[in-house]
Structure 1
């Protein structure tokens, strides 16, 4: 069985954080980086991203606002908010508005981030499999209903 490459997008307005993230995880994941929500949007349009990490405090748009803005167009990627500030209202907003899977603080622990990304990808895969199985179940159910109708009419 082939092990899938996990595609991760990290958004942060601080270039040195993007460089550090890419250096830390490029051998483990397929890493995409963006310095703004706008850049991130372009990356999402061109790539099938599995996990998105976003800094909370960025100019123009916070991480939560970014996650909220992509929910309808890109609902599948699992979202992780990462920030240098501990703000309980941001945590609540992240969960309620941005449907965030995890909330991490900077500076990050490499092993912890790697573990969270891997677990987030497992959630991504399970959701995809759930959709696939639901579609199969609906199809089989429709076929059974058709067979039952024919049996009743015969």
Structure 2
């Protein structure tokens, strides 16, 4: 049985319906200024005054872009962004700070915790541009992930259909083998003739009756198969009634199945 595809939460979100932004800064006036500036771009903005509060927001909401200060009491911005990456690894994380602790920031950038480092005071136009770029990158990544998952799901469905088809073929082959075994051991001469008049099948009883004439599959003219079945045929000084059954009414088979019944069976 093929295991179902389990979609990550981020792939279950509708594409770009809401652009969710989290702002984290311990200074209320900066947080309010950023909120006013960025709401005009249509983002759904969440605000937090500490790293711990920011993590609380992330535990309840899927956020696309995170903008965090560096110097905050209790938890530095780089530490908060590292934990944010653990919760939402696909989020775009931006640091906005007036302090330049190059070593800690560089380490966070190198390990992928920070996408961009911006300095205070900020330029409104540039800040909005950087955040808009972050959303675009996030949405492209989301679209790629959704496409990948859709392809995986389609491939799994194709694999399931293939397995079902293979099972159907196996069952049909088994049924065909059973039917051949039954025909092989029937105490009645059976001969299958294809549309071109060639012998395609002869069971054991038919091989005993006709001998070398049907031992090798081939032309049917020499075993009374091409003539009309309007009367009994004399085969080895015995009368046989030949009945013809056209194949293909209930299957994809083509040709004719002939039975040779000794006349004395009816006497």
User: Which of 105, 118, 136 is 2:119 aligned to?
Assistant: 105
Counterpart-to-counterpart distance in 2, 1:128 and 1:106: 30
Q: Whole-Å Cα distance in 2 between the matches of residues 135 and 4 of structure 1?
A: 19
Residue 22 of structure 1 is matched in structure 2 by 35
The two structures have a TM-score, normalised by structure 2, of 0.52
Partners of 2:70 and 2:95 within 8 A in 1: yes
For 1:59 and 1:98, locate their aligned partners in 2 and report how far apart those are by CA, in whole Å.
23
- Does residue 140 (structure 1) correspond to residue 136 (structure 2)? The answer is no
**Over aligned residues, Cα RMSD in angstroms?**
2.2
- Residue 122 of structure 1 corresponds to 136
1:61 aligns with 2:61: no
Among 30, 48, 52, the residue aligned to 2:62 = 48
Question: CA 1:31–1:109 in structure 2 vs 1: closer, same or farther (change >3 Å)?
Answer: same
Q: Which consecutive residues of structure 1, in runs of 5 or more, have no partner in the other structure?
A: none
**Worse overlay, 89-98 or 119-128:** 89-98
Name whichever structure is richer in helix by fraction: 1
Say if 1:3 and 1:138 are closer, same or farther in 2 by CA, change over 3 A.
Answer: closer
Structure 2 CA distance for aligned equivalents of residues 4 and 141 of structure 1: 28
Q: Which has the larger radius of gyration?
A: 2
Distance 1:3 1:139 in 2: 22
* Alignment check: 8 A CA contact 1:65 1:98 kept: no
Q: Deviations over 1:8-35 (max 9, x none)?
A: 1111111111121112222223222111
TM-score (norm 1): 0.86
Q: CA deviation at 1:152?
A: 6.1
Stretch moving more, 141-150 or 105-114: 141-150
> Contact 2:68 / 2:95 at 8 angstroms: preserved in 1?
yes
Work out whether residues 7 and 31 of structure 1, in 8 Å CA contact, stay in contact via their aligned partners in 2.
Answer: yes
Shift of 1:77: 2.1
Q: How do residues 84-103 of structure 1 correspond to structure 2 at under 5 angstroms? A: 84-97=98-111, 99-103=113-117
Segment drifting more, 93-102 vs 30-39: 93-102
Higher relative contact order, chain-length normalized (CA < 8 Å, sep 6+): 1
How far is the alpha carbon of 1:4 from its aligned partner?
4.0
